[in-house]
Amino acid sequence: MNKLYQLSIHEAHELLKQRKISSVELTRSALKRIAEVEDKIHACVTITEDSALRQAEEADKHISSGDIAPLTGIPTLVKDVICTQGIRTTCGSKMLENFIPPYNATVIEKLKAQKAVILGKTNMDEFAMGSSTEHSAFFPTHNPWDLSRVPGGSSGGSAAAVATDEAIYALGSDTGGSVRQPAGFCNMIGLKPTYGRVSRFGLVAFASSLDQIGPITKDVPDCALVMSAIAGHDPRDSTSVPYPVPDYSQHLIPDPSGSSPRGRILEGLKIGIPQEYFVEGMQNEVRAALETAIRKLEKLGAEIDWETSLPSTKYALAVYYILAPSEASANLARYDGVKYGFSERGASNVIETTEKTRQFGFGSEVKRRIMLGTYALSAGYYDAYYLKAQKVRTLIKQEFDQAFKKYDALVTPTSPTVAFKLGEKIEDPMQMYLSDVCTQPINIAGVPAISIPAGFASDPSPSLRSGSGQGLPIGMQIIGKPFSEETLLRIAFAYEQATDWHKKRPPL
């Protein structure tokens, strides 16, 4: 067992429980893997080796006393937008380059309550604004399937880290697809929970009505374990919902026929396929992979309706890029060079200090979105843009509500394309924004969705130099009604048992 870092959470848990390995051994293995591949991937902003080993030693003491939870002793990485006490939290920005939070986010408290081991913080697009992790103030992250391509964003560091076994699992945040799209690009599982299901306390805000924290894992059972750990009501988050948290693992139904497609374990579920998500410009390989995956769900017993329609979907991109920048404009107003974070010292007065702090502290994409949001909220344009966008948001939410009266879930691509080249879209914001066209409506409606591996682009051209001989990963998105994460995990697990896509690893 030299490569302990290759284990899943549930595999590592069983070995720890049986005392066949220790948390210190597992943590050292992950740290060794980080040392081996980090210079190629650049997934991490901060590595906390000493504190991780201390946490692992503490976890081993609890295990030896018979006290072990599903995440006890398991090493994880955390997106650098989630506050970690005593560990710098940069949000991928020069503005917070040296910020060390005095408290932990609720999700970190929950991980620590299970004696999980935190290895460090992962790279991201600045303040979670981006789809490629190229907008980090520090360095871009590379896709482990092809180092010349992006890992997705804004949680690209978390997805790339788990794909390369730098951690057993990771946490990300999702405002418009930032957990699911990188998971799709890196052949991982990524879940965006229902808005209000996971506390946002300690998550540095981008767009407060859209943000959610979610797990990125190697398989669906791992995703269920992390969700059970981090979900739940938090009185410190006014949007947190006081619903009981199910044991998500109990909803994963094993296929009685093993991996045989004859097992109809999705019998009784009805799944809709919204046509609006199969957009113009979608890569042929992505469309073909999705159609094959949907037929597999049908063989597993699900009733498929191929003619579902959510007509307001076409407005979702415009709605998102009014609402999200508007909220960002308000949330980022706190970075004024006075209270905390970066401050430009070469100014002659307070006003100039604030102007220069924002000029040099924020990157170009963040400044672009602040300007968009401030414009949309301004007195002369509030009704024309922000108010109208809120009304259309209501229509989008109502269409999802109507669909879920008929269907148990909806299935779409996670992204219309596979991972694109580093630098390919960085100078074309509109093309970059279109990368999230399939994921943004879910955040607008506040419903849950999961991305799971569903194939690889079959194009053998030199542009797909993954080195694996199979091209680049394709993700399938499964969308559910509010607080139906257990249904999404059930469908995802059924598909996972019937396919081998999730077992593929980049040849790094």
Instruction: List the structure tokens of 343.
Output: 């401050």
* Local structure of residue 309 (DSSP, 8 states): -
Tokens of 339: 């209270």
Residue 283: beta bridge partners? none
**Cα of 242 vs its chain's centroid, Å:** 23
Question: Which residues touch 161 (CB under 8 Å, ≥6 apart)?
Answer: 41, 43, 44, 77, 122, 167, 170
Is 326 marked active-site? no
Contact yes or no for 391/451 (Cβ under 8 A): no
| 227 and 68 Cβ atoms separated by less than 8 Å | no
Choice among 8, 22, 93, 154 that is catalytic? 154
Query: Is 154 annotated in the active site?
Result: yes
Q: How far apart are CA 224 and CA 249, in angstroms?
A: 5
Distance in angstroms (rounded) separating the CA atoms of residues 29 and 14:
17
Q: Do residues 419 and 153 make contact, with C-beta atoms less than 8 angstroms apart?
A: no
- Cα–Cα distance, 218 to 506 (Å, whole number): 12
- 10 Å CB burial of residue 319 (0-12, 13-18, 19+) is buried
178 in active site = yes
Pairing state between β 75-79 and 44-47: unpaired
* Nearest alpha carbon to residue 130 among 104, 162, 91, 166: 91
Token output for 396: 């989008």
- In single-letter form, the type of residue at position 34 comes to I
Q: 79, 110, 192, 296: which one is catalytic?
A: 79
Q: What is the dihedral of CA 118, 121, 122, 125, to 10 degrees?
A: 150
417 Cβ contact partners less than 8 Å away, ≥ 6 residues apart: 281, 282, 283, 286, 435
Select which of 23, 178, 240, 466 is catalytic: 178
Q: Which residues contact 112 (CB under 8 A, 6 or more apart)?
A: 104, 118
Q: Which two tokens stand for residue 250?
A: 């109990």
| Radius of gyration for the alpha carbons in the chain, expressed in angstroms and rounded | 22
- Enter the tokens of residue 340: 């905390």
Residues marked as catalytic: 79, 154, 178
